Structure 1
Amino acid sequence: MEFRIAAVVITYNRLELLKQIINSIKEQTHKPDDIIVVNNSSNDGTSEWLESQTGLTVLTQPNIGSSGGQYTGIKYAYDNGYDWIWVMDDDVLPNKNCLEKLIENAEPDNILAPLRYNSDGTVFFNEAVSYNLKNPFKSFWNEIISEKHLSNKFILVEGLTFEGPIFHRSLIDKIGLPEKNFFIFGDDTEFFIRAKQAGFKSLINTSARLNRLIPYVSPATQFSWKNYFVIRNLIAIDVLHGNIFVRLIRPFRYLLVWLFRCKSIKDIKTVFKAFWNGYFYQHSD
């Protein structure tokens, strides 16, 4: 049975990395039918470079973050009838046979993702085997993948990121599009929680490889403008998907934890604003 695949890449001011990922997608052993690039109004020469390329569908919009880019790109692929949608940011590099490996076991009810590697060749252990949406006194992350899971061809998880998964258009039929207003952080988490709730399985195919080009920095290690979105979106996920105890208690735990990390009045104001906007967050669509 024939099917059509669209690759979706979100970019903002990472021209040199974007060149690498586009080249990698074009050289896949199983080539997608289209490469959709969502340009969040980059100002580093990306727009000019994209105009000079062939074989791309370029969508340019204001910078509404990675979440807004994923929303636009996935919506375009869905509206234009693609059967499978392969999504990623501009700071990852799939191996040449990555897509081929992913679609070997593609079924409409399965979301397939590659195993991610750090730039030093080590496995990037970050996906959640399971989330905790029931106990407000424990971490949101129940279990993260580890060495013990690598002997399996497929790892069943609840959490994936928008770094290389491929899913069938029926997923959008069932759960809708990603949260476009999350801007950064957690839009993929929230999206795949909805996927699980709708009966879809998220599987990491350990024979499919994707390489991360930028080292991971935990948002908890430093206070920056990004922390507003981290705090707001974590609280929003609890409010949208947690049981009544999680909804009523854990947001206040986040509030206290982040207040202790504040180093200025500005930080304190950011935390309270994030708490308020997360606690009363509503789905974008």
Structure 2
Amino acid sequence: MSERILALIVTHNRQHMLRDCLELLAAQTRKPNHTLVIDNASTDDTPALLAQHQVEHIRLEKNTGAAGGFHFGLAEACRRDFDWVWLLDDDAHPRPDSLQKLLEGLERARGIGPEPNLLLSRLLWVDGRVHPMGVPWPDLRKPGLMLKARSHGLMPVRFGTYASMLVNLRAAQSHPLPTAAYFLYNDDLEYSGRLLRRGVGYLVRDSLVVHKTRNPYSSAINASDEVFYLEARNRAWLVRSDAFGPLGKTYWLLNSLGVFTVRLLKKGPQGIKPIWKGWLEGFQTLPDSNNQA
């Protein structure tokens, strides 16, 4: 396969996770052509690790969150001579053939429909089960393609996460960058939703990546009020985003109400403040301009 692949990892103060991720990239049966790490102003031993591995990296002056890191990294990728960029969280640890399987899925996808804008790996948690936070929503707008794709080990999707997302750089160059103002939570859903609003993307079922989150469910549920405020605000932005039409907006509205209910069950009445504050701000404001890279 002649595709030129840039692996892009965003990291912040998780040197041990990043080390494992880099070692697994080096062990791929089909290695990426180049690896770029965006260091979100880490204060641990990440700089020493990157120097030891002699991997190209860009250190940001401040922690811009996952949203800012991927915003900056994709802006850099769009200026380079590659065909695809493989987005990875530092705690997303690929199997040895993960990239090879993604590219084999790409060839199958080309045989049944238009050129995909993105491909996703199937995410597992550390115990081997499918990761609940990494289950992409099927693209219900394309029932015919869904039936055709099934026999090819593919599923058309409507959005996905950065844990293992292979993005067509031509598509990335023709769409806005990830919205850096999200900082944490839901920026990947909004970005992939925009790429797929009028494009095609697939889950490649036999490309497996272990996503080593602390628990298999949303970390936002147990986060501090200050952090959960970002979750609530960003969900309002997500509902308002032009990444989704009426069906998608309805889904995210109902999904958000479910997340807020679980949060209130855990936190009690005092949990309402960050929800109300974030939700209200998200409907009263829009994210800042994306021209930050």
Give the C-alpha shift of residue 263 in structure 1. Answer: 4.9
- Answer yes or no: is the 8 Å Cα contact 2:220–2:227 preserved in 1: no
| Residue equivalent to 1:81 | 81
Write out per-residue CA displacement over residues 60-92 of structure 1, whole angstroms, 9 at most, x where no aligned residue.
Answer: 111110111111111111112221000011111
Q: Which moved more, 1:40-49 or 1:234-243?
A: 234-243
Say whether 1:127 aligns with 2:135. yes
RMSD, matched Cα: 3.1
Give the C-alpha shift of residue 221 in structure 1. Answer: 4.0
Q: 1:98 to 1:258 in 2, by over 3 A?
A: closer
Give the C-alpha shift of residue 38 in structure 1. Answer: 0.7
What runs of 5+ residues in structure 1 fail to find an aligned partner? 133-148
Q: 1:173 to 1:220 in 2, by over 3 A?
A: closer
Give the C-alpha shift of residue 226 in structure 1. Answer: 2.4
Measured in 2, the distance between the counterparts of 1:176 and 1:25 equals: 28
Q: 1:263 to 1:123 in 2, by over 3 A?
A: closer
Give the C-alpha shift of residue 128 in structure 1. Answer: 3.3
Identify the match of residue 270 of structure 1 among 270, 274, 281: 274
Measured in 2, the distance between the counterparts of 1:104 and 1:70 equals: 25
| Residue equivalent to 2:31 | 31
Q: TM-score, normalised by structure 1?
A: 0.81
Give the C-alpha shift of residue 279 in structure 1. Answer: 0.8
- Answer yes or no: is the 8 Å Cα contact 1:15–1:45 preserved in 2: yes
- Answer yes or no: is the 8 Å Cα contact 1:158–1:202 preserved in 2: yes
Measured in 1, the distance between the counterparts of 2:37 and 2:6 equals: 10
- Answer yes or no: is the 8 Å Cα contact 1:24–1:96 preserved in 2: yes
| Residue equivalent to 1:111 | 118
Q: 1:153 to 1:131 in 2, by over 3 A?
A: closer
Measured in 2, the distance between the counterparts of 1:117 and 1:91 equals: 12
- Answer yes or no: is the 8 Å Cα contact 1:236–1:280 preserved in 2: no
Q: 1:116 to 1:162 in 2, by over 3 A?
A: same
The residue type paired with residue 229 of structure 2 is Y
Q: Secondary structure at the match of 1:81?
A: coil
Q: Secondary structure at the match of 1:85?
A: strand
The residue type paired with residue 273 of structure 1 is K
Measured in 2, the distance between the counterparts of 1:69 and 1:195 equals: 18
The residue type paired with residue 209 of structure 2 is L
- Answer yes or no: is the 8 Å Cα contact 1:86–1:165 preserved in 2: yes
Say whether 1:204 aligns with 2:203. yes
Measured in 1, the distance between the counterparts of 2:269 and 2:139 equals: 32
Q: 1:92 to 1:166 in 2, by over 3 A?
A: same
The residue type paired with residue 11 of structure 1 is T
What runs of 5+ residues in structure 2 fail to find an aligned partner? 141-148
The residue type paired with residue 186 of structure 1 is N
Q: Secondary structure at the match of 1:35?
A: strand
Identify the match of residue 282 of structure 1 among 282, 286, 289: 286
Measured in 2, the distance between the counterparts of 1:3 and 1:206 equals: 20
Measured in 1, the distance between the counterparts of 2:260 and 2:85 equals: 39
Write out per-residue CA displacement over residues 166-197 of structure 1, whole angstroms, 9 at most, x where no aligned residue.
Answer: 02112113322111111111111101111121
Q: Secondary structure at the match of 2:162?
A: coil
Measured in 2, the distance between the counterparts of 1:111 and 1:82 equals: 14
Equivalent pairs, count = 264
Measured in 2, the distance between the counterparts of 1:118 and 1:81 equals: 34
Percent identity among equivalent residues?
24
- Answer yes or no: is the 8 Å Cα contact 2:264–2:272 preserved in 1: no
Q: 1:100 to 1:259 in 2, by over 3 A?
A: closer
The residue type paired with residue 10 of structure 1 is V
Q: Secondary structure at the match of 1:16?
A: helix
Q: Secondary structure at the match of 1:204?
A: strand
Q: 1:122 to 1:256 in 2, by over 3 A?
A: closer
Q: Secondary structure at the match of 1:96?
A: coil
- Answer yes or no: is the 8 Å Cα contact 1:127–1:157 preserved in 2: no
The residue type paired with residue 136 of structure 2 is A
The residue type paired with residue 166 of structure 1 is L
Measured in 1, the distance between the counterparts of 2:245 and 2:103 equals: 33
